[in-house]
């Protein structure tokens, strides 16, 4: 690590206050230009610890930067991950409070619900299939506390992989009944189609993304737990959200989910 413990704690406090008050801060890479990705994950873990101390719990993980175009934009060759906290989870029947976000954007994803623990390294796609209870359509609401989304990889990792909220659809599908690579997705905002895609958009197959996550966590001494939700990465465009927007998504063979902002 390049950053001192004092500097890491200072950045944790800045990000926590920005999250709590839904305000934006200058890029971390401006105030700490020598920050490493390892430093950024240390900041992320301390940031989540502060939220746990305030009563939240970890309910899963999210995988980000799964599209090659985004990797190229950020100058990296692999995804990143963040924690899904209990306060991020919303039901389809709930309105998401727009004023709790800084600059939200939406993504359509496939969510995995685990029935067994997964601890890497060495986790294979077959092991993930065996450990998965079901898959579900999901909206991830990404939200950067970094001003104007002016992020480098270290900025987004420290900011919990730009996680904001998520909504899981009510339908449940067994993995063996669907081809995750070829299933199509249609995204709508306020009744208009704004994006399409397939499961192959995330590291060529969503199972590849979950395997990467399990094995990366394993190298850090962490594991995926039974009962956790895994958001496996965006399948189409990332789109901006405004107050009052109504979102709808359908994944072929997996059903629909909706999301509304007040």
Instruction: State residue 214's pLDDT score.
Output: 98
Identify whether the C-beta of residue 234 lies closer than 8 Å to the C-beta of residue 105.
Answer: no
State the residue range of the domain holding 112. Answer: 5-261
Alpha-carbon span 139 to 223, nearest angstrom: 24
pLDDT at 72: 82
Query: Which tens digit of pLDDT belongs to each residue from 4-33?
Result: 999 999 999 999 999 999 999 999 999 999
- Per residue in 140-176, pLDDT (tens digit) is 999 999 999 999 999 999 999 999 999 999 999 999 8
Per-residue pLDDT tens over the stretch 32-43: 999 999 999 999
Query: What's the sign of the alpha-carbon dihedral 259, 260, 261, 262?
Result: negative
End-to-end CA distance of the chain: 42
Split at pLDDT 50, 70, 90, the class of 226 is very high
Over the stretch 243-257, which tens digit does the pLDDT of each residue have? 999 999 999 999 999
pLDDT value, residue 211 = 97
Computed over every residue of the chain, the mean pLDDT equals: 96
Residue with tokens 């902002």: 261
pLDDT at 1: 78
How many Å apart are CA 16 and CA 53, to the nearest integer?
12
More confident residue, 92 or 1: 92
pLDDT for 77 equals: 86
- In this prediction, residues 109-113 reach a mean pLDDT of 98
Asked if 158 and 28 count as a contact pair (C-beta separation under 8 A), the reply is yes
Q: How far apart are CA 221 and CA 242, in angstroms?
A: 39
Residue among 102, 138, 94, 87 at smallest CA distance from 15 = 102
The kind and range of the H/E element at 30 are helix 28-31
| Helical residues (DSSP H) of 64-205, grouped into ranges | 68-74, 125-131, 153-158
Q: Residue 224 belongs to a domain with what CATH number?
A: 3.90.850.10
- pLDDT, residue 76, reads 86
Q: What pLDDT, in 10s, does the model give residues 68-99?
A: 878 887 888 889 999 999 999 999 999 999 99
Distance between CA atoms of 90 and 259, rounded to whole angstroms? 9
* Structural domain count of the chain: 1
Q: How confident is the model at residue 210 (pLDDT cuts 50, 70, 90)?
A: very high
Give the span between the Cα atoms of 124 and 41, in whole angstroms: 24
Q: Which pLDDT belongs to residue 67?
A: 84
Place of tokens 């009052």: 244
pTM of the model: 0.97
Scanning the structure block, which residue is given the tokens 């944790």?
12
Say what the pLDDT of residue 144 is.
97
Percent of the chain with pLDDT over 70: 100
CA distance 156 to 143: 10
Tell me the two tokens of residue 44: 């992320």
Instruction: Please tell me the distance from the alpha carbon of residue 129 to that of residue 42, in angstroms, as a whole number.
Output: 30
Degrees (nearest 5) of the Cα angle 54, 56, 62? Answer: 135
pLDDT score, position 75: 84
């Amino acid at each position: 690590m390049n950053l001192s413990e004092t500097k890491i704690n200072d950045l944790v406090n800045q990000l926590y206050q920005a999250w709590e008050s839904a305000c934006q801060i200058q890029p971390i890479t401006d105030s700490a230009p020598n920050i490493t990705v390892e430093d950024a994950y240390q900041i992320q873990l301390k940031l989540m610890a502060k939220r746990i101390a305030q009563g939240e719990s970890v309910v899963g993980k999210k995988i980000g930067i799964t599209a090659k175009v985004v990797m190229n934009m950020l100058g990296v060759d692999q995804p990143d991950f963040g924690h899904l906290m209990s306060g991020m989870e919303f039901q389809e029947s709930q309105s998401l409070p727009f004023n709790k976000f800084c600059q939200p954007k939406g993504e359509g994803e496939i969510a995995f619900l685990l029935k067994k623990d997964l601890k890497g390294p060495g986790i294979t796609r077959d092991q993930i299939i065996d450990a998965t209870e079901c898959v579900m359509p999901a909206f991830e609401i990404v939200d950067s506390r970094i001003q104007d989304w002016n992020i480098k990889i270290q900025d987004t990792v420290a900011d919990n992989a730009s996680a904001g909220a998520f909504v899981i659809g009510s339908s449940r599908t067994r993995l063996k009944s669907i081809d995750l690579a070829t299933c199509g997705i249609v995204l709508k905002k306020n009744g208009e189609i704004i994006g399409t895609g397939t499961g192959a958009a995330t590291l060529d197959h969503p199972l590849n993304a979950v395997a990467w996550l399990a094995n990366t966590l394993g190298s850090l001494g962490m594991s995926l737990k039974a009962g956790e939700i895994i958001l496996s990465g965006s399948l189409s465009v990332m789109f901006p959200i405004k107050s009052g927007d109504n979102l709808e998504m359908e994944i072929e063979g997996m059903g629909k989910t909706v999301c509304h902002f007040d």
